[in-house]
Structure 1
Amino acid sequence: MMAMTQASATTKAARRRHDREIVALAVPAFGALVAEPLFLMTDSAIVGHLGTAQLAGLAIASALLLTAVSVFVFLAYATTAAVARRVGAGDLPGAIRQGIDGIWLAILLGVAVTALTLPAAPALVELFGASDTATPYALTYLRISALGIPAMLIVLAATGVLRGLQNTRTPLYVAIGGFAANAVLNVVLVYGAGLGIAGSAWGTVIAQYGMAAVYGFVVVRGARRHGASLRPDAAGIRATAQAGAPLLIRTLSLRAITMIATAVAARLGDADVAAHQIILSLWTLLAFALDAIAIAGQAIIGRYLGANDPEGAKAACRRMVEWGVVSGIVLGVLVIATRPLFVPLFSSDPAVQSAALPALIVVAIAQPICGIVFVLDGVLMGAGDGAYLAWAMIVTLAVFTPMALLIPVFDGGLTAVWITMNVMMAVRMVTLWLRSRSGRWIVTGATR
């Protein structure tokens, strides 16, 4: 009996330790994670009151812009895992050097993506099936916002460095400053300067470059303190790119799902795609709220594996899944309770509100599933299990695509689009759960 009591006390102590680690990393990470969706929600709220066509144009342009940036989210996620492993192994200078390689890669990719996006903007907007009224606004927003892509990628990479160093507070402070600047600039440029949707795009670009400058200062200071070189290293940049390739495939598949959903909504009409934009903004915010636990998981799991502690990694994984489920339930209840107040903030059009309200119920129901998905996704990223994540998302895309494309054929509405999104999340949950149960993701050492 005494042995059982001691074992129980040990388990409780371990759970409390994991809780403290998760809270210490996840709470600040949430503030940093929501910066981008809050940028988008601010733009949506301000542009939405210019008119439905403007909001529909923003929906198309923002989906394209987020795709152009989000496919390179491995700059944050892979860097977090790699840096955290070296921290766990006690190699702090090596951890920072690896992070700097990621930032150089971000600069190169950002310039290349901007150069490709600008001339391709008309074809990309047309591909989404935007209406004649929404197309000019989509082009304006996309062309201006594309100039901020290098800054966005720098922010991703630098955030990954700090997370891997178990520092999520600095990204929080930078995100708060960036969000505040974006909100003020949007109001001033859209209404004060009378620039309309172009003012919203310029406000976001300026805020993004401000955030990149602050991150650059922080990383440079840390590198000098620990004697890490700031010069670009071709071998290090190439290794970072190779490590991130599976996560690039995973993210491309995920972004393809979002783009297909937006394209289907666009073909349902301006009111539906405008409502879809509102829901997508909220869904992204909810996803990042849950992903805050996953960010903690990346840093914690990477550190445990780098320190050759597989049991600690497994215990942390179990505890974070519990956090994900409970958080998902809470978020789902909040969505249902606040949906009548939320939608009018973005549009006064009755058609837009009518399309959005029932779809929000579908979004709310899926939140516990989303909690499991995002947490396990983060755990496997922290373990460097990118190859499995890539294959799992390809399978999910293969299931989602035919279902989504059949919605207009059978006269489905926006609610059907979001039911299909829920099915997609359920498929992801199954694939990630099977992998976590197998234990094959557990590989210890400073590098995977």
Structure 2
Amino acid sequence: MIVQSTNIINKRILQIAVPSIISNITVPLLGLVDVTIVGHLGAAAYIGAIAVGGMLFNIIYWIFGFLRMGTSGMTSQAYGRHDMEEVTRLLLRSVGVGLLISACLLVLQYPIRRLAFTLIHTTEEVEQLATLYFQICIWGAPAMLGLYGFAGWFIGMQNSRFPMYIAITQNIVNIAASLCFVYLFHMKVAGIAFGTLIAQYAGFLMALLLWARYYGGLKKHIVWREVLQKQAMLRFFRVNRDIFLRTLCLVIVTLFFTSAGAAQGEVVLAVNTLLMQLFTLFSYIMDGFAYSGEALAGKYIGAGNRPALHHTVRQLFVWGIGLSTGFTLLYLFGGKAFLGLLTNEASVIREAGNYFYWVLAIPLAGFAAFLWDGIFIGATATRQMFYSMLTASASFFLVYYSLHGWMGNHALWLAFIVYLSLRGIMQAVLSRKILYQS
């Protein structure tokens, strides 16, 4: 009986994790396709413009990622309670708030752009081209933030296949549209931007069609006056506020990591950027299992099924330990060869060898933080998640500024490892109240 229930739990974990991993892997493909196309147009400024513009939108949308995460946790709990009225209202709230935020971004696009290029120092030509890219792609904000609501809602409904279908569709449309605009209409950077814009709205349209086709029956549960019910809206904003503040801490640490590396010279910046690709690869996989934690933890908490919740958490950590051990061995034996695929610059590869052992520590130090994030989101324990992130972020800066004078770039990597580890440790301590409360 125990073996059978373990197999069922593992099957449910993988049903959500695998499509989510595929979706995660497609995300960088959008940017990679754009860079590849402009990389053949004959001017480095085109590549710089796409890189700067893409980074700016990554930061903007990253900050508003709470729309996906908060929706996922609350929807999975309502789904576990079989509360289809609240399930439907949550989608309307999330997409509605996303559209409202996007309207604010459109209205404030000029000051946002001016502030961004005040902080980002680049050549005049790159700034002009990146400005053109920004002015076109900002109109995709309604589609992107609306999609966050749909993606979180689908995952909360235990369905990560639809976000995967949407991500794959966006990639196909982006490639076709960008190639058409650039090579048939000779639009260069503007063509890349329009290709991205069309792909974003294609994804949003597909989300609407999938919902109408497979969840259209929920329309009978819509009572518009209850969508804006005061207590429900207060909970919605409380959960999303905590996730927003948590994400802000994450963005600050990530940007500082890049900035601190850049301050130590071009070679160190290049080394840190390349080594961080190994962390990014690991994060794509672990995020898939975090999504399983969101969906399943929320579902079992909503249903009041504590034994299934505890069993799911245990199995998530079995997967986490196995995957982190596998990635450590993979990086130990193949990591340096992977770096050789990314660059043939001998000085960078040689310098990377001095810091490579920090990368080996990342999987085992960081896997718990990913899994607990998913579980806490599913439990809507977002205040505890924020406190853990705040403490870990403070430790990052404390370690770095205490040691960088005599450890240099090693202090930056040690601070990052401490930051990852402390997130997982604090959440493990705080989890007992979440997992065992009545």
Q: For the structure 1 residues 340 and 424, does the alpha-carbon distance in structure 2 shift closer, same or farther, using more than 3 Å as the test?
A: same
Distance 1:103 1:287 in 2: 26
Partner of 1:29: 20
Q: For the structure 1 residues 54 and 350, does the alpha-carbon distance in structure 2 shift closer, same or farther, using more than 3 Å as the test?
A: farther
Equivalent runs, 1:15-414 vs 2, <5 Å = 15-43=6-34, 60-128=52-120, 139=131, 141-187=133-179, 189=181, 198-222=190-214, 224-226=216-218, 227-229=220-222, 233-235=227-229, 239-269=235-265, 273=269, 276=272, 279-280=275-276, 283-336=279-332, 338-339=334-335, 342-343=338-339, 362-404=358-400, 412-413=408-409
Give the partner amino acid of 2:158. Answer: Q
Task: Choose between structure 1 and 2: higher helix proportion.
Answer: 2
Per-residue deviation, residues 189-236 of structure 1 (Å, max 9, x unmatched): 566765555544443332222111111222344553121339684336
CA contact (8 A) 2:404 2:411 kept: no
Distance 2:295 2:414 in 1: 33
Q: In the TM superposition, what is the alpha-carbon distance from 1:299 to its structure 2 partner?
A: 0.8
Distance 2:419 2:205 in 1: 37
Q: Which runs of 5 or more structure 2 residues have no equivalent in the other structure?
A: none
Is the counterpart of residue 433 in structure 1 residue 433 in structure 2?
A: no
Partner of 2:419: 424
Higher mean displacement: 325-334 or 128-137: 128-137
CA contact (8 A) 1:106 1:150 kept: yes
Q: In the TM superposition, what is the alpha-carbon distance from 1:304 to its structure 2 partner?
A: 0.8
Distance 2:357 2:317 in 1: 23
Distance 2:437 2:3 in 1: 26
Distance 1:53 1:218 in 2: 39
Per-residue deviation, residues 372-429 of structure 1 (Å, max 9, x unmatched): 210111111111100101111111221223555688866945x664443223211212
Q: For the structure 1 residues 244 and 317, does the alpha-carbon distance in structure 2 shift closer, same or farther, using more than 3 Å as the test?
A: same
Please, what is the CA RMSD of the aligned residues?
A: 3.5
Give the partner amino acid of 2:28. Answer: P
Give the partner amino acid of 1:425. Answer: L
TM-score w.r.t. structure 1 length?
Answer: 0.83
Give the partner amino acid of 1:175. Answer: A
Q: For the structure 1 residues 367 and 191, does the alpha-carbon distance in structure 2 shift closer, same or farther, using more than 3 Å as the test?
A: farther
Distance 1:132 1:347 in 2: 28
SS in 2 for 1:373: helix
Give the partner amino acid of 2:153. Answer: V
Distance 2:262 2:223 in 1: 45
CA contact (8 A) 2:144 2:204 kept: yes
CA contact (8 A) 1:264 1:408 kept: no
Q: For the structure 1 residues 426 and 152, does the alpha-carbon distance in structure 2 shift closer, same or farther, using more than 3 Å as the test?
A: same
What percentage of residue pairs aligned between the two structures are identical?
Answer: 23
Q: For the structure 1 residues 76 and 318, does the alpha-carbon distance in structure 2 shift closer, same or farther, using more than 3 Å as the test?
A: same
Distance 2:393 2:125 in 1: 31
CA contact (8 A) 1:326 1:368 kept: no
CA contact (8 A) 2:279 2:362 kept: no
Distance 1:25 1:67 in 2: 26
Higher mean displacement: 41-50 or 312-321: 41-50
CA contact (8 A) 1:129 1:266 kept: no
TM-score w.r.t. structure 2 length?
Answer: 0.84
Distance 2:44 2:267 in 1: 7
Distance 1:131 1:399 in 2: 36
CA contact (8 A) 1:332 1:367 kept: yes
Higher mean displacement: 223-232 or 320-329: 223-232
Q: In the TM superposition, what is the alpha-carbon distance from 1:17 to its structure 2 partner?
A: 1.9
Distance 1:369 1:263 in 2: 23
Task: Provide the aligned length of Structure 1 versus Structure 2.
Answer: 433
CA contact (8 A) 2:73 2:380 kept: yes
Higher mean displacement: 131-140 or 27-36: 131-140
SS in 1 for 2:221: coil
